């Protein structure tokens, strides 16, 4: 299973969002997501999150908060386990990102952007300050077919 991180930096009621418009053959093309990426050999989730945020934004997270694990299943892509972080303390100067455009977006506007349907579920958990969670998301193309939160069906397979 592919191991990745996703980080949402927060300030003044906004999330730093990445509009993915620059990479070719990108499963996230034209979607708005946080910053993050794949683990490198020997990295754990925190090390990967710190590195990816620094590489993609120029910012250094001071006190990232590990919020949950999100498992994605979406053919034809390999299964992915994403480690989700938020962070309100960071330093440095925001730089351009090679994968898309970075923009601070009001938290109440995020779910109106072109985002993955399952992202709305974990944004709700983040906004509720939910304890550490495990979310499983099953897609057919761009359509969310099933969601399981901490072992309980949120969206059953037959809907």
Residue 98 confidence (pLDDT): 86
pLDDT tens readout for residues 93-139: 999 998 889 999 999 999 999 998 999 999 999 999 999 999 999 99
Residue 156 confidence (pLDDT): 79
Q: What is the pTM of this model?
A: 0.92
Cβ contacts of 106-115, under 8 Å, gap ≥ 24 = 106/13, 106/14, 107/10, 107/13, 107/14, 107/15, 108/13, 110/15, 110/17, 110/32, 113/17, 113/32, 114/30, 114/31, 114/32, 115/31, 115/32, 115/33
Mean pLDDT estimate for the chain:
91
Domain ranges of the chain: 2-155
Residue 10 confidence (pLDDT): 97
CB 79 within 8 A of CB 1: yes
pLDDT tens readout for residues 99-110: 889 999 999 999
Residue 158 confidence (pLDDT): 61
**Euclidean distance between the first and final Cα of the chain, in Å?**
27
CATH number of 2-155: 3.90.79.10
pLDDT tens readout for residues 11-70: 999 999 998 766 566 565 568 989 999 999 999 999 999 999 999 999 999 999 999 999
């Amino acid at each position: 299973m592919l191991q990745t991180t996703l980080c949402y930096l927060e300030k003044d009621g906004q999330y730093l969002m990445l509009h993915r418009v620059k990479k070719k053959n990108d499963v996230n093309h034209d979607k708005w997501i946080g910053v993050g990426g794949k683990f490198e050999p020997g990295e754990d989730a925190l090390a990967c999150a710190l590195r990816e945020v620094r590489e993609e934004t120029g910012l250094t997270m001071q006190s990232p908060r590990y919020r949950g694990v999100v498992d994605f299943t979406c053919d034809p892509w390999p299964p992915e386990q994403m480690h989700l972080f938020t962070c309100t303390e960071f330093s440095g100067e925001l730089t351009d990102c090679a994968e898309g455009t970075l923009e601070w977006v009001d938290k109440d506007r995020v779910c109106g952007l072109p985002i993955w349907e399952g992202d709305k579920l974990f944004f709700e958990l983040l906004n509720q300050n939910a304890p550490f969670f495990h979310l499983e998301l099953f897609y057919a193309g761009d359509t969310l077919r099933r969601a399981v939160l901490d072992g309980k069906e949120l969206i059953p397979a037959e809907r």
